[in-house]
Structure 1
Amino acid sequence: MVAAGLGESAIGAFERGFTLLSAGEKGLLGEESIHPATDVPNYLMVASEHPEWNAEFLAQTAVIKLNGGLGTGMGLQKAKSLLEVKSGETFLDLIAEQIAHLRQSTGAKVRFLLMNSFSTSEDTLAALADGPLGDEEVEMLQNKVPKIDASTMTPVEWPADPDHEWCPPGHGDLYPALVGSGWLDRLLEAGVKYAFVSNSDNLGATLDGGLLSWFAESQAPFAMEVTRRTEADKKGGHLALRTSDERLVLREVAQCPDADLDFFQDISRHRFFNTNNLWLNLPALKEALDASNGVLPLPVIQNAKTVDPRDKTSTAVWQLETAMGAAIECFDGATAVEVPRSRFAPVKTTADLFALRSDAYEKRADGSVGLVGVRAGKPPVVKLSDEYKLVDSLAELGAVPSLIEAESLVIKGRVHFAEGVVIKGNAEFDNCGEVAPGTYGS
């Protein structure tokens, strides 16, 4: 890691994770050690108390977008944020527009950072240079860590492709990256006190004036945006309270003992899940990092993989990761806020992207994208068969039908939509070839 130019904070975080792995510490969080979080402030209450931007707080704020993902699950070999979303514009285009509009409309120079990975850096910076932010310095590089040979507990060797010897350390690397890059000190020196962090593929996660004022006035060191779990979210990390000290904690499925999985997936018991939209008090973060030698004591997730992810017969390895939301347990006074589902709209699959490209979503004057008003915050449910798992295959579907009045759309096999197809209610198309203009559904 030293030879690869990685900083002390990143090395310290990996060393801590490796020590836990070597000691057989699984980092499990059993149901007997926690109880459900119930008393969570609501966004509607918060927003009503802070209806307008606070210029002072805005000038002290940075927006950080996590942009390290390649979207390989959808067949991409570039940053997912470079995918087209609306009318030729990408996630990155829209994010840059949002920042530029916010600066212009408020007069506050809100700081902006992208946490890129080694894989996304070049393409992302090239794309940004042609946008409203120009050549502004915005990059913070994510670190990388060695994969551990499961049989020898040493860094794995893979001469066929040495890049496979490394892996990303999860978005918990935000904290070592802020320290190692020097950005934390630079922001503090510039008078920045607050940071809003979210994923670049979540266009619902925009800087919100009400939430900013609420967070700043609360003087909380850390806040997590959570929303109500549905059946679709039962495998996602949920909020809880640790019984021993009543601290808020984030429990990921990898931290749940097998015997407690039913409790983990009980959405009526554990009602809130992490949207990965976080608010950080940067002076408090600096203090916590200084007190722990630059390494927050985050739970370490131990993933059993193979060194070549496409070759299941290749060497078995451990990949060590941390989640940035898990830092909620590292701060006295950390809190959470329940937000509407509209602030959690990530694109994880081609079905998500297909829906986002439809007229059920609109681009607004400030660069944000959200559901049109008549949908009352409820997205259409789109399901695509495996033929459309990769982004390039979406072109085979032809024009995107109107989904403004759609409840659900299921597509199986060969289907091609002509211009002028409208879906109302629920509709399913099963290997039916060309779909002529008209209204479909029940």
Structure 2
Amino acid sequence: MATATLSPVEAEKISTLQSAVASLPQIRQAYLIFLHFSVFENEKSGFINLVARYLSGEAQHIEWSKIQTPTDEVVIPYDSLAPAPEDAAETKKLLDKLVVLKLNGGLGTTMGCTGPKSVIEVRNGLTFLDLIVIQIESLNAKYGCNVPLLLMNSFNTHDDTQKIVEKYANSNIEIHTFNQSQYPRSVVDNFMPLPCKGNTGKDGWYPPGHGDVFPSLKIVASLTHYCRSVAEILNHLVQNRNEYCMEVTPKTLADVKGGTLISYEGKVQLLEIAQVPDENVNEFKSIEKFKIFNTNNLWVNLGAIKRLVEADALKMEIIPNPKEVDGVKVLQLETAAGAAIRFFDNAIGINVPRSRFLPVKATSDLLLVQSDLYTLNDGFVTRNPARANPANPSIELGPEFKKVANFLNRFKTIPSIIELDSLKLTGDVVFGAGVTLKGKVFIAAKHGVKLEIPDGDVIENKEINGLDDI
């Protein structure tokens, strides 16, 4: 192997690592080896910088007594936004400043999928990515604009995504893809990069969290190309020159662990549960004191990203994520995009309606979206007005329903849940077509017993534990 050549900046960062780690010669050699594995210069610098910050003990400590509830000038009520321009030409001018960027680096592993999560079917044969494309196509067609779609892939999703986007070649939308960084996992015992121990396959590497979107976006192309940069929010940000906006929404008991916005030493800042002292965790979870949480819908000025990345000013909190690979305990160091809010000028939050936040992280969420609780129009999944209860039903599915393939095989059609309050399913339960669930429903199949819910059955406020209960 040829001798690695260090730039002055890399040499300085290696030196920082040396002073922070006990096993100095071993670590230095490990990171010299790593320089041969990394393809891009920014990945070398970015990874070494992240490790150096972590090992040096750099951390921001929150003083609980300094936390203040943001005012309406900092977290703006959605209803107080000025209406979007009524003139279509003015709206087009606004939309010409917009780029839509979707994080596409995640695999749907928690739901038993092996490819990009964005290609999971949502409803009517359409995937998440299909819906995104339809939404932007409709916008472009309505206003004669050209809002592009950027997809940030990871090394896990890049190849599959490149094949998938080919089907949109004739669509009324520009689609651009780029990869986020690829960092080596670090062995917990001595912090050597895992590839240096012989694991050079995919398991030796990881994408370093969605906070990596800022340097990755800066490197992939000139940001000024995309500085053509809904309507109400965009109008507000343009008029008030807000460099960063986080959409937040009212917290429910299901969201108590979600990050929230606070005012801290004169700036708006994201507070995550990991930053909260143990004695204040219950207070953090209170929906009375902390009424909002981060939806991860972010609006960011591209010129500001360029300025801050070039100044190396985005020092987001480091999130250690422990894993195990082939019996070896490793650590992934990650950052989150929401934590960048404190570095941007005139940053704000906007308290949006819950309807703008519809996450699908598990098959229980997928059941809601695929049901008659929502309708589909121009790619947008919209709450069915026939639902009287403003809250969604509580859905709890057993392990038999966890993987998407198994989930789909257990429903001939998705039941009607317009009048459902709560549903708990466990065991080998299979649904026929046209089933209706109302009120509180609990269905549990005993071990070795298959429960088949007949076509057209209506189950209301009922507990089913065996065939005799059907």
For structure 1, list consecutive stretches of 5 or more residues without a partner in the other structure. Answer: 194-207
Q: 1:122 aligns with which of 130, 134, 159?
A: 159
Question: Pairwise mapping of residues 129-278 of structure 1 onto structure 2 (< 5 A)?
Answer: 129-131=166-168, 133=171, 136-157=174-195, 158-159=197-198, 162-188=201-227, 192-193=228-229, 208-242=230-264, 245-278=265-298
Whole-Å separation in 2 of the counterparts to 1:12 and 1:240: 32
Query: What are the Cα deviations for residues 124-177 of structure 1, in whole angstroms up to 9, with x where unaligned?
Result: 222221135389551021112122222212212453563222111100011011
1:89 counterpart = 2:107? no
After TM superposition, list the pairs within 5 Å mapping 1:40-439 onto structure 2.
40-46=75-81, 48=83, 54-131=91-168, 133=171, 136-157=174-195, 158-159=197-198, 162-188=201-227, 192-193=228-229, 208-242=230-264, 245-290=265-310, 292-293=311-312, 295-306=313-324, 308=325, 314-364=327-377, 366-375=378-387, 378-398=391-411, 399-431=413-445, 433-436=451-454, 437-439=456-458
Q: Which amino acid aligns with 1:238?
A: T
Higher CA-based Rg: 2
Of the three residues 10, 18, 21, the one matched with 2:54 is 21
Count of matched residue positions in the alignment of Structure 1 and Structure 2: 415
Structure 2: 5+ residue stretches without partners: 1-33, 462-470
Structure 1 residues 126 and 50: CA distance shift in structure 2, 3 A = same
Separation in 2, partners of 1:17, 1:160: 21
Bigger relative CO (Cα 8 Å, ≥ 6 apart): 1
Give me the TM-score of the superposition, normalised by structure 2: 0.83
Give the secondary-structure state (helix, strand or coil) at the position aligned to 1:355. helix
Q: Distance in 1 between matches of 2:323 and 2:263?
A: 31
* Equivalent residues of 2:141, 2:172 under 8 A apart: no
Other structure's SS at 1:284 match: helix
Q: Which moved more, 1:217-226 or 1:420-429?
A: 420-429
CA drift of 1:342 comes to 1.1
Q: Please say if residues 98 and 368 of structure 1, whose CA atoms lie closer than 8 Å, have aligned partners that are also in contact.
A: yes
Q: CA deviation at 1:4?
A: 4.7
Q: Which residue of the partner structure matches residue 31 of structure 1? A: 64
Distance change in 2, residues 1:14/1:34 (3 Å): farther
Q: Call closer, same or farther: CA 1:275–1:50 in 2, change over 3 Å.
A: farther
Q: Give distance in 2, aligned partners of 1:256 and 1:315.
A: 30
Counterpart amino acid of 1:391?
Answer: V
Residue identity in the other structure for 1:352: D
| Partner Cα distance (1:32, 1:11) in 2 | 39
Distance change in 2, residues 1:332/1:135 (3 Å): closer
1:129·1:135 contact (CA, 8 Å) conserved in 2? no
What is the TM-score when the length of structure 1 is the normalising length?
0.87
| Contact 1:236/1:274 (<8 A) preserved | yes
Higher helix share: 2
Alignment deviations for residues 70-110 of structure 1 (CA, whole Å, 9 cap, x no partner): 01111111001111111111111111111111111110001
Cα pair 2:320 2:334 within 8 Å, conserved: yes
Residues 140 and 183 of structure 1 are in contact (CA less than 8 Å); yes or no, is this contact kept in structure 2? no
TM-superposed CA distance for 1:253, in Å, is: 2.3
Aligned counterparts of 1:31 and 1:278: Cα–Cα separation in 2: 26
For 1:287 and 1:18, locate their aligned partners in 2 and report how far apart those are by CA, in whole Å: 23
Query: 1:226: Cα distance to partner?
Result: 0.5
| Counterpart position of 1:204 | none
Deviation at 1:117, TM superposition (A): 1.1
- Give me the CA root mean square deviation: 2.3
